[in-house]
Amino acid sequence: MDHNSDTTEATWLASAGLRPTRQRLALAHLLIGDGQHRHVTAESLYEASRDSDEQVSLATVYNTLRVFSDAGLLREITVNGARSYFDTNVTNHPHFFWEDTEELMDAPDEDLKIAQLPKAPAGTEIAKVDVVIRLRRK
Amino acid sequence: MDHNSDTTEATWLASAGLRPTRQRLALAHLLIGDGQHRHVTAESLYEASRDSDEQVSLATVYNTLRVFSDAGLLREITVNGARSYFDTNVTNHPHFFWEDTEELMDAPDEDLKIAQLPKAPAGTEIAKVDVVIRLRRK
DNA sequence: TTCGTTGCAAACAATTTGCAACCCT
DNA sequence: AGGGTTGCAAATTGTTTGCAACGAA
């Protein structure tokens, strides 16, 4: 990773008040290094790190994904009882989930229009709204 | 369980081509016995069965929930990486999920209006659309 | 120096599975 | 009788945690 992108990742961490450790910078680079939004699982990110020049242990990948999403840098998406997915796009937006390959991707945001949403019951507020469109191969 | 409800549950099973075994009838009774829709986890259903006069092993509860939802009698809802929820209401409808108590319940169906939904990519069809409104206690 | 962070291994929790006994049809 | 179903225990899978070594402030 060159110096410029290194700054980008450090800024990303700093914006959430997180220390720029070697491991966090490496994972941040894999997550936002190219400016594209990305959906990862702990396992997929771990493998990406194994293939890179900065290895991170699996436990740290798990811990870091948790820290990042608690800090609001990532959004956790629950589509599958088993695995957790994390999205670098933290805004409310719909997802496609392929049931056969268990792949998660963004659905075109502008194509979902929710005209009316149930109001939150008294004493509560809406933390987020997850819309998952499950796809089956025809 | 009296004879009438016994018939209801047997019919429910028969409609999906499932054999009316003692355990399935007992679980069916706990699920649809009073005609109300219900959201259960394997653990909650197992406990309900422990408290009833027809006990079912935990493994069988797990297997039966899987069999029922594969057969279309239940809908599996994934809200939480850890636990799986099963809903006796198998139609598309929105859910409220309390983040603190991990309780799942129906959101008023008529209050959700999706004006436009992304179309399924070529070669795929929409299996189902999950809308989960996550609530945080204020 | 101080305290947050990492990494390994062990602990955990939810769920599935192998297999022998059992029971619908 | 024959094949689906059950239940126990053991195995799996994804994830978290205890703790000693390490590194950022």
CA of A52 to C1' of D17 (A): 27
B62 touches chain A (CB under 8 A): no
Q: Which two tokens stand for residue B46?
A: 């197992």
| Amino acid A67 CA to nucleotide C13 C1' distance, rounded Å | 21
Confidence class for position A5, pLDDT limits 50, 70, 90: low
**pTM, two decimal places:** 0.91
CA B16 to chain centre: 15
For chain A, say whether B84 makes contact (Cβ under 8 Å): yes
User: pLDDT tens, B68-125?
Assistant: 999 999 999 999 888 999 999 999 999 999 999 999 999 987 777 887 888 999 999 9
Task: Give the distance, in angstroms, between residue B76 CA and nucleotide C22 C1'.
Answer: 29
**Are B135 and A129 an interchain contact pair (Cβ–Cβ within 8 Å)?**
no
pLDDT in tens, A44-79: 999 999 999 999 999 999 999 999 999 999 999 999
- Chain segment A65-117, per-residue pLDDT in tens: 999 999 999 999 999 888 999 999 999 899 999 999 999 999 987 777 887 88
Cβ contacts (< 8 Å) between B83 and chain A: which residues? 81
Nucleotide nearest to A24 (CA to C1'): C5
- Is residue A69 within 8 angstroms of chain B, CB to CB? no
CA distance B30 to B100: 26
